[in-house]
Amino acid sequence: MTVGTILVTGAFGQVGKRCTQILLDRGRTVVATDLRTDATQDVEKELSAGAGTLIPAYIDLLDAAAVRELVVTHQPEAIVHLAAIVSPPSYRNPGLARKVNVGGTENLLTAASLSRPLAGPPLFLLASSAAVYGSRNPNRYPELITPDTAVNPIDQYGEDKVLAEAAVRASGLPYGLFRLGGVISPDTMSGINGDYLLIMRSLPTDNRLHSVDARDVALAFANGADRQATIDGKVLLIAGNESYVHLKHEMEGDLMSAVGLGRLGPSAGLPGDPDDERGWSFTGWFDTTESQALLDFQQHNWDQTLAWIAESQGHLRVALRVVGPILRPVLRAALELQRRAEGRGPYADPWTLIARKYGQEALAQAD
């Protein structure tokens, strides 16, 4: 057995690369799994081994034999499972997403149960999501979300995570289920495409959003890998401190200001229907009291995250600040015309728009 070994899936992604770096800096051996692409190979080259050892492992989690061989060979003390097909890309191929998000998790769990026969099974940390809570009407549910709040997924991705959590609980392994708020980093902004823009347009302007800096999420998982005794069997909510609690139009305005464009304001979107249970998007505001006490991960505030994003934009931010006063009214008008063309009413009604775009398979299928 390799002493101090941690297996990280999705190790070269937004959270994974930062968690891997923290673990390497702490002298850990990190078996870093991901799919082989130009982007993931570039990240691998950028990581500094520090005092630790990096073992890249480009495997597909759907290859059960390869997963088993990897886990049994390295016998990790902990598995940080970050890899997933997240929404909205998952909406384009919900069948494949289910195989990866649930089947891939099951392959890892099966392999983990075969490893470390003498030292005991590894701790399994699952990156779950606020999506498990489904549509949260703040007019009917004004309280903070806690680990005991009932799950009620409304989309395919949230349902995938509920099923993955159930598989982890049933595995018999020591575990922690980390339900993440909206993870923000410069990677988030550079990865914006048509699917993400549609999701943002679908959200009610007064939807509650609780975000978190990707660096803090990475720290939560890195710390969790060393704290089995205190987190085993727990659901922990991973979101930022009070400065990360916003309404959708507030968060969007802050982010658009950070990149240089400036605020569009709440009139650029539609509100949620106060009388409709399904008329809101997932996420709400988390009670992070327990997770912060156990994991000590909230190291940044919202202003620092915004400064990080602004710095990453370079000269583009300067250019956008110049053209922003011209672009903003054009964008508001374009968004209004788009809503009319889509036949949207006075309320956001996000899931009708998403189902129309991606099909009913994008929504949760359970009765």
Q: What is the pLDDT of residues 51-77, one digit of tens each?
A: 999 999 999 999 999 999 999 999 999
In a domain, 344, yes or no: no
In a domain, 341, yes or no: no
pLDDT above 60 for 1: no
Predicted model pTM: 0.96
How high is the pLDDT of residue 366?
A: 66
pLDDT tens for 267-295 read 999 999 999 999 999 879 999 999 999 99
The total of structural domains in the chain comes to 1
- Percent above pLDDT 90 for the chain: 91
How high is the pLDDT of residue 3?
A: 53
pLDDT tens for 73-101 read 999 999 999 999 999 999 999 999 999 99
CATH of the domain at 145: 3.40.50.720
Domain hosting 93: range is 5-186+211-243
pLDDT tens for 217-232 read 999 999 999 999 999 9
Put the strands of the sheet holding 29-34 in their side by side order.
Answer: 53-58, 29-34, 5-9, 78-81, 123-129, 175-180, 234-238
How high is the pLDDT of residue 2?
A: 42
In a domain, 332, yes or no: no
pLDDT tens for 116-159 read 876 889 999 999 999 999 999 999 999 999 999 999 999 999 99
Q: How confident is the model at residue 191 (pLDDT cuts 50, 70, 90)?
A: confident
What are the tokens at 316?
Answer: 């583009």
How high is the pLDDT of residue 194?
A: 86
pLDDT above 60 for 367: no
Cis peptide before 266 (omega within 30 of 0): no
Q: How confident is the model at residue 105 (pLDDT cuts 50, 70, 90)?
A: very high
What span, in angstroms and rounded, lies between the C-alpha atoms of 224 and 231?
7
